Amino acid sequence: MSKPAGCKRWSVAEGHVAKRADGDGTNDVLWLLNASAHEAHVEIMVYFEHRVPAGPYRLTLLPERSRRIRWHELEGPEPLPIGTDFATVIESDVPIVVQYTRVGAGGAGAMTTIAHWERCGM
């Protein structure tokens, strides 16, 4: 592959941590893909309408791997508040691909969108 897939800075203008009936947290999922041969060190900042931002949430994405992030799994520096809408900015030290998915309760219905990326020479 001549160019790495993805970009280093992404934003998702929608997110929500909802409590499901089974108590398993959220149906909103962030998918990350690192198609490069190097580890990706990722930082996620979370922005709210009525409070200061949370983050950065840091994680490492192994080379040539994908990873599913469920919002309620983000714990440090603080858990995301349940029942709150938010937006995110995701930054990585190597290009990655970001996709946001929402699945309805019980797996009924799904919506997915690719995140917005900043100009990255594509």
Q: List, for residues 46-78, the tens digit of each pLDDT value.
A: 999 999 999 999 999 999 999 999 888 888 899
pLDDT band at 83 (very low <50, low <70, confident <90, very high): confident
Q: Identify the pLDDT of residue 13.
A: 86
- Look at residue 4 in the predicted model and tell me its pLDDT: 74
For residue 20, what is the DSSP state?
Answer: -
The closest alpha carbon to 107, from 30, 27, 29, belongs to 27
pTM to 2 decimals?
Answer: 0.83
Residue with tokens 């990655």: 96
Q: Is the pLDDT of residue 28 over 60?
A: yes
What domains can be seen in the chain, in order of their start residue? 7-117 (2.60.290.11)
State the Cα–Cα distance between residues 87 and 30, nearest whole angstrom: 12
